Amino acid sequence: MSRGESVHAVPPAGAVGFPALGREELLDAYRVMVLSRATDERCLSLQRQGRIGFYVPASGQEAAQIGCARALSKEDWIFPAYRELGVALARGVPLRAILDQLVGNSADVSKGRQMPNHFGFRDHRFVVASSPIGTQITQAVGAALAARRRGDPIVTIAFFGDGATSSNDFHAGLNFAGVYRAPTLFFCQNNHWAISLPREKQTRSITLAEKAQAYGFPGVVVDGTDIDAVHSAVAEARRRALHGEGPTLIEAQVYRFGPHSTSDDPRRYRSDAELAHWKESDPIKRVKERLINEGVLDETRDKMMWEAARAEVSKAVEEAEATPPVGAGTFLDDVFAAPTPRLAEERAEFEALLRDGVVKP
């Protein structure tokens, strides 16, 4: 048996019993995809202007992110990496809340504690991201076991990239999930570049999905630029997990159109031709064409949708920037449930420095 044989690509549109997204659903997904792309465009520019410190774009991965999120229940727990803007938007996180985090203002529910894009929203069951690669994978398995113990009919899902498949926690997490048949989905957005390292140099495996075979559960490869294919693969994996059939690894093949983050220049490591090739299957273009073919969208309406998205982004940026900064002493909060005597003393010391003008907010 060849190495890739047990891995099947999910055929698009309903082949595993899950119908393609209906017109209205698709139009709504498209609206979120456009909003995600418009947010990326604006935030890259804000970063260049020094108005936000850093940014991690998701452009090119919208069909994977939004198609996946739409196949989940709002009760499912999301364990994101730091590139999951589209997932957050599809989950219903208000754009303003995301901008508050990017700016790090006093309205940020995470209180300005982390770099941009490392957001989390408990109300949306969207766990707060971190920078170390892959650590959320084992955590998603633990939460799934906890949900099962509580009898909650939900799944957990870990989002990560191709680079994370080399991490310790990828191995540990998939292994634990296989052993315990955890109701967990492993959603790998293979965007082909882990900063500068190409997919072929990340692993000798022919696909990333086939790694699941070694852990005793299915891995599927899906065209991550095809929103229906992603949606149906995730829906099927979710059905399996809820029926006690265990985890699934989904490899959504995508391409990141922009840099890894605002701190790198992709032209140093990849070709314009490769980018141009992938842009032919720009997920937004693909959905737009389908919507036009089905008569639910035309160029005029499309233009209006983009204008509406850009206006929404502008409004969120304005509001986030007009919101007062994080209070000076708040960095001393939330280390523990209640401050230790040592932390209380450090707070008093800090407040004295503020009062005496030695440090300035």
Partner 1 sequence: MTELTLVQAVNRGLQVAMRNDPDVLVLGEDVGVNGGVFRATEGLLKEFGEDRVLDTPLSETGIIGTAVGMALYGLKPVAEIQFLDFIYPAFDQIVSELAKFRYRSGGQYPCHVVIRTPYGGGIKGGLYHSQSTEAYFCHTAGLKVVIPSTPADAKGLLLTAIHDEDPVMFLEPKRIYRSVTGEVPDGDVRIPFGKARLVREGSDVSLFAYGAMIPLVSEAAEKLASEGISAEVVDLRTLVPLDEAAVLASVEKTGRAVIVHEAARFCGVGAEIAALIAEKALYSLKSPVVRVTGYDTPFPYALENLYLPNADRIVHAVRGAVKAG
Binding-site ranges for partner 1 (CB under 8 A): 77, 79, 108-111, 113-114, 118, 120-122, 127-128, 130-132, 135, 137-147, 149-150, 156, 168-169, 171-173, 175-176, 179-180, 333-337, 340-342
Tell me how far, at minimum, the Cβ of 8 lies from partner 1, in Å. 27
**33 near 225, Cβ under 8 Å?**
no
Query: Of 17 and 341, which CB lies nearer to partner 1 in the complex structure?
Result: 341
d(CA 173, CA 153) in angstroms, rounded, equals: 21
11 or 142: whose CB is closer to partner 1?
A: 142
DSSP for 211-248, please give it: HHHHHTS-EEEEETT-HHHHHHHHHHHHHHHHTT---E
Per-residue tokens: 213: 């075979």
Residues annotated as catalytic (active site), given as ranges: 256, 260, 269
What is the token pair recorded at 74? Answer: 């709002």
Contact call for residues 89 and 121 (beta carbons, < 8 A): no
Among residues 212, 221, 220, the alpha carbon closest in space to that of 182 is found at 212
3 state SS for 98-130: HHHHHHCECCCCCCCCCCCCCCCEHHHCECCCC
Report d(CA 32, CA 89) in Å as an integer.
Answer: 7
Output the smallest distance, CB 135 to partner 1, in A: 5
Cβ 124 to partner 1 shortest distance, Å: 11
- Three-state SS at 18: coil
CB of 7 to partner 1, least distance (A): 23
Which residue, 101 or 232, is less far from partner 1 as judged by CB? 101
Q: Do residues 81 and 136 make contact, with C-beta atoms less than 8 angstroms apart?
A: yes
Closest CB 83 distance from partner 1, rounded Å: 17
Nearest Cα to Cα of residue 60 among 191, 249, 234: 191
Q: What are phi and psi of 220, to 5 degrees?
A: -125, 145
Give min distance, CB of 144 to partner 1, in A. 7
Tell me whether residue 304 or residue 335 sits nearer to partner 1 (CB atom): 335
CA–CA separation, 86 and 67 (whole Å):
9
The distance of Cα 225 from the centroid of its chain, to the nearest Å, equals: 15
Whose Cβ is closer to partner 1: residue 344's or residue 359's?
344
- Residue type, position 130, single letter: S
**CA 143, CA 85: separation in Å to the nearest integer?**
22
Q: 11 or 112: whose CB is closer to partner 1?
A: 112
Q: Which is nearer to partner 1, 134 or 266 (CB)?
A: 134
What is the per-residue burial (b if ≥16 Cβ within 10 Å, else e) of 312-343?
bbeebbebbeebeebeeeeeeeeeeeeeeeee
Question: Degrees (nearest 5) of the Cα angle 155, 159, 165?
Answer: 120
The distance of closest approach from Cβ of residue 73 to partner 1 in the complex, given in angstroms and rounded to an integer, is: 16
And the tokens for 59?
A: 């452009």
